Amino acid sequence: MTQRVELAAVMDRLAVDGLVTDYAVAVDDGDWTAYRELFTSDGRADYRSAGGIEGDAGNVASWLAENMRVFAMRQHLIVNRRVRFGVLEQDTGDTARVQADYVNPMRLAVDHDDSAAGAPDFVCGGRYSFGLLRTDDGWRVREVVVQEKWRRLPG
């Protein structure tokens, strides 16, 4: 493998890692425009294992915008990222699969107080499975599936 190929692989891995981080930040910050822009035009998300919905990224973003308002604070911690690049139309590196574990503490918005101070009321964890596609605009999410494995509720 030449240094040029190795550098391209490192750059792709950094870009993919950045996309996963941008995904978490968009959800945590409630930036649903940014969330939608992370997906391909046919991108889909599946949050059913966490009590959510499955559908195209636009509909899921709208659902998240409505349902995440109950949390004044959200903070995804995404770890153990495993990246595998794939082949599309006889070219290498056009697709990627990412599996990543997450822990997600959230604080409930009580009496419409949006204060993020204090310990989280709700913590969940599990694994994301991302299907990514290289586009003219860079790497984008074609699909994301959430597999919630555990949760701790208030009380």
**Residue whose structure tokens are 């009380």:** 155
State the pLDDT at residue 121: 87
CA distance 79 to 88: 27
pLDDT mean over 106-133: 81
pTM: 0.88
State the pLDDT at residue 110: 75
115 vs 76, residue with greater confidence: 76
Nearest to 134 by CA among 6, 9, 5, 7: 9
